[in-house]
Amino acid sequence: MIRATRRTTGMIVLAGVMTMGFQVGVKADFATPIIPREAFFGNPDKASVQISPDGKRISYLAPVNGVLNVWVGPAHDPSAAKPVTKDTKRGIRGYFWAKNPGYILYVQDKGGDENWHVYSTDLATNKTLDLTPISGVQARVQEVSPDFPDEILVAINERDKRWHDIYRVNIRTGVKSLIQQNDEFTGFLTEDDMKIHFGVKMTQDGGSEIHRLTGANSWTLFAKIGQEDVMTTNPIGLDESGKNLFMIDSRDRNTAALISYGLESGQSRILAKDNQADIAGVFAHPTRKIIQAVQSNYTRRRWQVLDPSIEGDFKYLETVSDGEFNVTSRTHDDRLWTVAYVLDQGPVRYYLYNRDKNEAKFLFTNRKALEKAKLAKMHPIVIKSRDGLNLVSYLTLPVGTDHDGNGRPDKAMPMVLFVHGGPWARDTWGYNPYHQWLANRGYAVLSVNYRGSTGFGKDFINASTFEWAGKMHDDLIDAVAWTIKEGIADKDRIGIMGGSYGGYATLVGLTFTPDVFACGVDIVGPSSIITLMEAIPPYWKPILEMFTKKVGDHRTEEGRKFLASRSPITHVDKIRKPLLIGQGANDPRVKQAEADQIVAAMKKHNIPVIYVLYPDEGHGFRRPPNSMSFNAVTEAFLGKYLGGRVEPMSEDIGNSSITIPAGSQLIPGLPAKLLEANKDQS
């Protein structure tokens, strides 16, 4: 989320006041050159490659004056591509081709507020139109259809911030018309006919119901999903006949399978399953409603081909490059595919695959600076929790520290436990900029799929119920204990770091287990579960019952007492190790108050803390200058308390919006200008 100098951290307590001290040890030999942070966290050279529906043009994201924009060029000559969008602020992170090949669509917010607008760019004029020019409203693209190339369905919460109504929008003019007012559904299943077929709504018991639209605003209950299956069961689409519904479904089983349900016959059929992992993605024909392959992921991605017509394509693509491949786009006639290969020791490799010729042409990588860099291998490992669960984890060791290649360093070393957010998400194998950056600086890096992580079946998710700061944290501690036992981590030099839930886990680590970690880096993590839940965005309120049934209920006296006991803010006086906090001022999920209140509590207890705040960021740091500046501070912080190598931060800091409301004087190597600008806040 390199051991030029070895340091042993010591915490000195004087009259109840903690100071952050360290001792300089012996210089260690480390042959791998420092890779600049820019190579890991700056803009990619080219990314998100896609082919137009008619196969005539190719597109990708690339920077224009340091800001990511969409570039388009002829499919036979991507080097001739030109920028077609004109974003000058945060950069475009996600885009796609409209079914009309003359238009590009993308979404963008302002300053990380997640009030997404949908934009349409006319490639004939390079003019961009805001299709949802409404302040303070969140828009989501609901459907694009080859049968209606000039129109899309967009979900907008203008009328009621809690619910997204469905509109039909013309991508040329922006004219929209309401097709479904919504006062109860968290989401809809729509199809190429641009009509709503199913709606999903949450129930008071934390489960959900799937309703079928059977008439003019007339809904019939199709399926009831219990709380135990709600996170692993969803409808995904209809087949060509419209008589069969495809679902990812975990009912009556542990791992979610791909199942076809006959809407008239009432019969069901399992199309694909994996007894170790959920079916997590489907590969469907671009125009026909055929699911041709599915993927699941236990320790590595697995493909299951269901359609014999693409079996030869997949077998060929497996031979083209190392790593794991994913098809990122397809033409309407299905003759051309763009394919991305993810590796653990190199940048993403993009290819244009011609099915007629059975030939994949290499295009470029997403980060040229990493093509010849000495990157570290990522090892998938399975660690047993104290109560017997399998914790699929990923370990990265610095280059040159594991001479026999067995996934164990030659001697115990400093380690960073990098905890994923969510918590209903997961870590995967492949290139990870945080793993590679930290390994390059001299740290072993471990990421753990603790209970509650997705993809491993509903039992694994449900084992996390009411276990924030409980067994979920025990899993992390068990994994750390395993690394110490295996001779991987030096028990006195282990840091914990993560974003969102990973930031919360960092705060839990320093408050609930204050002697395990030498330091912590909390990125947009909640300090109180109660205030987190009280301040959720209005469009999250429909899923509140599910949240309270999984985490705890802040609306009852007993629930508040329980959640307070699991909140780091309650135990702030136990913090004895150095802490760095990063926050975006516009975060709609974990609001700035979460960082402010724990910083204030630490100051009240005379506990030093470094607090870095970005006025133009939300839930995480998307602008590359901001990301690099925070990581520069993090690198100096970890170098001081864990002993890794440090690249000077002056160049990273310059173009960011960084402010430091607390602890600027505690950051080693902070440029004098920035130190002076923030000294009054500290």
Tens of pLDDT along 395-411? 999 999 999 989 999 99
Q: What is the pLDDT of residues 335-366, one digit of tens each?
A: 999 999 999 999 999 999 999 999 999 999 99
Q: Would residue 54 count as lying in a domain?
A: no
pLDDT at 652: 67
Q: Domain of residue 468: give its range.
A: 7-23+372-578+618-651
Q: Would residue 488 count as lying in a domain?
A: yes
Catalytic residue among 619, 627, 656, 664: 619
Q: What is the pLDDT of residues 558-591, one digit of tens each?
A: 999 999 999 999 999 999 999 999 999 999 999 9
pLDDT at 22: 29
Reported in sequence order, the residue ranges of 575-669 that DSSP labels E, i.e. its strands, are 579-584, 610-614, 659-662
Task: Indicate the average pLDDT of the chain.
Answer: 93
pLDDT at 163: 96
Q: Are residues 565 and 555 in the same domain?
A: yes
> Please, what sign has the CA dihedral across residues 645, 650, 653, 655?
negative
Q: Would residue 37 count as lying in a domain?
A: no
Q: Are residues 404 and 465 in the same domain?
A: yes
Q: Name the token pair of 478.
A: 């068990």
Residue ending a domain, among 322, 355, 371, is 371
Q: Are residues 309 and 453 in the same domain?
A: no
Orientation angle between helical segments 471-485 and 501-512, nearest 10 degrees: 70
- d(CA 46, CA 60) in angstroms, rounded, equals 6
pLDDT at 646: 96
Q: Name the token pair of 348.
A: 């993403």
Q: Within 10 A of 465 (CB to CB), how many other CB atoms are there? A: 18
Orientation angle between helical segments 624-642 and 433-440, nearest 10 degrees: 40
Q: Are residues 431 and 552 in the same domain?
A: yes
Q: Would residue 526 count as lying in a domain?
A: yes
Residue whose pair of structure tokens reads 């602008």 in the numeric block: 623
Q: Are residues 387 and 312 in the same domain?
A: no
The pairing of strands 610-614 and 413-419 is: unpaired
Q: Are residues 357 and 380 in the same domain?
A: no
Asked whether the beta carbons of 170 and 150 are under 8 A apart, the reply is yes
Active site residue 205: no
Q: What is the pLDDT of residues 499-526, one digit of tens each?
A: 999 999 999 999 999 999 999 999 999 9
Q: Are residues 437 and 471 in the same domain?
A: yes
Asked whether the beta carbons of 634 and 668 are under 8 A apart, the reply is no
SS (H, E, C) 193-214: CCCEEEEEEECCCCCEEEEEEE
362 CB-side CA count, 13 A = 9
Active site residue 313: no
- pLDDT tier at 216 (50, 70, 90 boundaries)? confident
Residue ending a domain, among 309, 343, 371, is 371
Residue 9 confidence (pLDDT) above 80: no
Q: Would residue 285 count as lying in a domain?
A: yes
pLDDT at 4: 30
Mean pLDDT of 100-113: 96
Q: What is the pLDDT of residues 235-265, one digit of tens each?
A: 999 999 999 999 999 999 999 999 999 999 9
Asked whether the beta carbons of 542 and 482 are under 8 A apart, the reply is no
pLDDT at 649: 85
Residue ending a domain, among 329, 350, 371, is 371
Q: Are residues 545 and 564 in the same domain?
A: yes
Longest dimension (CA), the chain: 77
Q: Would residue 507 count as lying in a domain?
A: yes
Catalytic residue among 402, 587, 616, 652: 587
Q: Are residues 366 and 413 in the same domain?
A: no
Mean pLDDT of 28-34: 69
Q: Which of 280, 233, 223, 283 is nearest to 253 (CA)?
A: 233
Q: Are residues 309 and 387 in the same domain?
A: no
**What is the CATH classification number for the domain harbouring 257?**
2.130.10.120
- pLDDT tier at 626 (50, 70, 90 boundaries)? very high
Q: Are residues 311 and 420 in the same domain?
A: no
Q: Are residues 647 and 534 in the same domain?
A: yes
Q: Would residue 38 count as lying in a domain?
A: no
The pairing of strands 378-384 and 413-419 is: unpaired
pLDDT at 158: 96
Active site residue 252: no
- d(CA 196, CA 523) in angstroms, rounded, equals 39
| Total count of domains within the chain | 2
Q: Name the token pair of 211.
A: 């309703």
The pairing of strands 390-396 and 378-384 is: antiparallel
